[in-house]
């Protein structure tokens, strides 16, 4: 009977060479995935911290912009608000918002809050003068409050002059072509206008609007990148086909290396015809499993390389409500 050990040794050596090659690729893949995942996790932490920092800066800028919005709105609309109250006996935040929307204010709720505060302070200014109070000093009063008191005082004086002028024109048969409201508003605006102050406010306000818009876009970009990195990290954490490759590698190792080596160490050596057929069958099955995995991996690679339609990149737009 021929020596059966040559068959077992040949199968073990051949399978060991294949296992070494496949194992090298598999280990390299595992190390690469681990390194990639660590890099993605590190980048995700950096983006999360950058997003928090940038969101805090955006919040601070928004608070400054809200304060500037109030001053800008007072400088722009205070005369109109006071003139409306002086000539009609009432003024509402809705009336102001529907006619005078400040550029850069994103929501109607915020705009109503600003207009409501202006109406409230206007009422307090009227109550102050009705109790015999005098015009506050600018050095001890906030600029916006001083502006409102200044407009109220000018409106009270202007309404008396306009009323006398209208009475005289009616008697003369020459009624005015403009409304009482327009005349009072023009008089208040002329008496309280400060072009230098308004220009400086406008420059500061425009700068804050631009800063807030840029920071909002930056936060949106960081959030999108952070979400992308997290998605990639999740994908790397569950690599496709890795466990299948490990299973094929383990099966080839067992049937191609372990079984023949056990057969060589066994006494008496497996020399029967049935044993040889089983050994050859197991060895061939290991090769088939390895070949099937390689075919599957190549097919998956080919499918993933086919270009797919991609959605248009999301663009962050900071819309502005219609303003006057």
Lowest-confidence range among 4-18, 29-43, 141-155, 266-280?
Answer: 266-280
Number of domains in the chain: 2
pLDDT tens, residue by residue, 119-178: 999 999 999 888 888 877 766 678 888 888 888 888 888 888 877 776 776 666 665 556
206 and 186 in a common domain: yes
| DSSP state at residue 313 | P
The answer to whether residue 228 is domain-embedded is no
Measured N-to-C along each axis, helices 5-88 and 195-237 cross at an angle, to the nearest 10 degrees, of 160
Mean pLDDT value across residues 250-267? 84
In the listed set 168, 191, 220, which residue is the last one of a domain according to the structure? 220
214 and 71 in a common domain: yes
Q: What is the pLDDT of residue 175?
A: 58
| 306 class by beta-carbon count within 10 Å (0-12 exposed, 13-18 middle, 19+ buried) | exposed
The answer to whether residue 128 is domain-embedded is yes
Query: How far apart, in whole angstroms, are the C-alpha atoms of residue 204 and residue 94?
Result: 27
- For residue 242, how many other CB atoms are within 10 A of its CB? 13
- For residue 285, how many other CB atoms are within 10 A of its CB? 14
Query: How far apart, in whole angstroms, are the C-alpha atoms of residue 65 and residue 59?
Result: 10
Res 57 pLDDT > 80: yes
Residue whose tokens read 């109109």:
80
Q: What is the pLDDT of residue 1?
A: 45
Per-residue pLDDT band at 219 (split at 50, 70, 90) = very high
The answer to whether residue 306 is domain-embedded is no
260 and 166 in a common domain: no
182 and 141 in a common domain: yes
Which range of residues forms the domain containing residue 167?
53-220
pLDDT tens, residue by residue, 174-203: 655 567 788 888 888 877 776 556 677 778
Which run of H or of E encompasses 308? none
Res 309 pLDDT > 60: no
Mean pLDDT value across residues 68-76? 87
Lowest-confidence range among 48-52, 167-171, 297-301?
Answer: 167-171
Query: How far apart, in whole angstroms, are the C-alpha atoms of residue 69 and residue 55?
Result: 20
121 and 148 in a common domain: yes
140 and 38 in a common domain: no
Higher pLDDT, 240 or 24: 24
SS3 98: helix
């Amino acid at each position: 009977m021929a020596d059966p050990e040559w068959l077992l040794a040949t199968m073990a050596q051949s399978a060991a060479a294949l296992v070494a090659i496949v194992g090298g690729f598999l280990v390299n893949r595992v190390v690469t995935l681990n390194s990639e995942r660590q890099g993605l996790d590190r980048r995700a932490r950096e983006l999360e911290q950058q997003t928090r920092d940038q969101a805090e800066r955006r919040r601070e800028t928004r608070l400054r912009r809200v304060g500037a919005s109030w001053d800008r709105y007072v400088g722009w609309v205070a005369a109109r608000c006071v003139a409306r109250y002086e000539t009609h006996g009432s003024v509402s935040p809705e009336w102001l918002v529907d006619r005078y929307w400040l550029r850069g204010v994103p929501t109607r709720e915020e705009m109503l809050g600003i207009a409501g505060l202006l109406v409230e302070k206007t009422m307090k200014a009227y109550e102050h003068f009705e109790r015999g109070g005098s015009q506050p000093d600018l050095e001890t009063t906030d600029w916006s409050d001083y502006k409102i008191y200044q407009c109220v005082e000018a409106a009270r004086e202007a309404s008396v002059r306009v009323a006398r002028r209208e009475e005289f024109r009616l008697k003369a048969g020459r009624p005015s072509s403009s409304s009482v409201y327009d005349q009072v508003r023009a008089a208040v605006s002329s008496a309280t206008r400060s072009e230098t102050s308004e220009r400086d406010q406008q420059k500061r306000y425009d700068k804050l609007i631009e800063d807030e818009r840029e920071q909002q876009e930056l936060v949106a970009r960081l959030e999108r990148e952070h979400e992308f990195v997290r998605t990639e990290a999740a994908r790397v954490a569950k690599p496709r086909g890795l466990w299948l490759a490990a299973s094929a590698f383990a099966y080839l190792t067992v049937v191609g290396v372990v079984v023949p080596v056990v057969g060589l160490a066994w006494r008496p050596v497996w020399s029967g015809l049935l044993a040889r057929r089983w050994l050859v069958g197991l060895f061939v099955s290991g090769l088939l499993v390895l070949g099937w995995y390689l075919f599957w991996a190549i097919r998956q690679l080919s499918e993933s390389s086919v270009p797919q339609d991609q959605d248009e990149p999301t663009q962050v737009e900071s819309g502005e409500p219609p303003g006057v």
